A and B are shown apart, each in its own frame.
Chain A
Amino acid sequence: GEDVEQSLFLSVREGDSSVINCTYTDSSSTYLYWYKQEPGAGLQLLTYIFSNMDMKQDQRLTVLLNKKDKHLSLRIADTQTGDSAIYFCAESIREYGNKLVFGAGTILRVKS
């Protein structure tokens, strides 16, 4: 079955690094995604990683994938107040027509 779990809340100080964690259950996941949702807004695709990769870095964002433990993390370096938002982890499974299965979302609060 498909299930994606995330920690619900994270609070960090401005300038620190943030690490948001996610676990998934379906080993046939094709891609894993991180989306950001600011208050009252839609979802913004932040980054994604193919399931045969271990790491992807994009400016302040680093995604780590541990396929053995089915664990995905998003690290935000030098976290800013503008990073305060809800972060959703999602997986897609090609055999299910690329349907996205979302986690519950992690609320990131950045204190100045």
Chain B
Amino acid sequence: SAVISQKPSRDICQRGTSLTIQCQVDSQVTMMFWYRQQPGQSLTLIATANQGSEATYESGFVIDKFPISRPNLTFSTLTVSNMSPEDSSIYLCSVDSGTDTQYFGPGTRLTVL
């Protein structure tokens, strides 16, 4: 299984600011994903991070609000822009190991005041 780390593990931010979350994998992977888990809720896919091209966003999520970078096969970032309290969630990255299994990072717990 892949070992995935995320930074920061948690943060408290002010309304209107932006936060960039990093996801690092210990091996090269083709597919990386970003999910959001709102308080007491299940996980919702934000986007698929594609290496060398723009991310593919799910319905209800847009690039201006959640810009994503994928500079190489082991790293991706998700930025939560112009934050509001409604963005308070856990943000998780996951990777497809190539054997049709997805492994998740520990998550970034974001609180927006």
Taking Cβ atoms with an 8 Å cutoff, the residues of A that contact B are: 30-31, 33, 35, 40-45, 48, 50, 88, 92, 94, 97-100, 102-105
Contact = CB atoms under 8 A, between A and B. Distances in A.
A42 B100 contact: no
Contacts of A100: 33, 43, 45, 94, 102
Contacts of B104: 35, 42-45
A42 B96 CA distance: 16
A98 B1 contact: no
A45 B100 contact: no
A102 B38 CA distance: 13
Interface in B22-58: 31, 33, 41-45, 48, 56, 58
A105 B38 CA distance: 13
Interface of B: 1, 31, 33, 41-45, 48, 56, 58, 92, 94, 96, 100-107, 109
Contacts of A103: 42
Contact of A45 (B44, B48, B102, B106): B102
A88 B43 contact: yes
A99 B48 contact: yes
Given A102-B43, A103-B42, A45 B92 contact: no
A97 B31 contact: yes
B22 to A, nearest CB: 15
A44 B1 CA distance: 11
A92 B100 contact: yes
23 contacts: A33-B102, A41-B107, A42-B92, A42-B104, A42-B105, A42-B106, A43-B92, A43-B94, A44-B104, A45-B1, A45-B101, A45-B102, A45-B104, A48-B101, A50-B100, A88-B42, A88-B43, A97-B56, A98-B96, A102-B43, A104-B41, A104-B42, A105-B42
Nearest to B1: A45
Nearest to A47: B101
Given A99-B48, A100-B45, A104-B42, A45 B103 contact: yes
A48 B63 CA distance: 32
B34 to A, nearest CB: 12
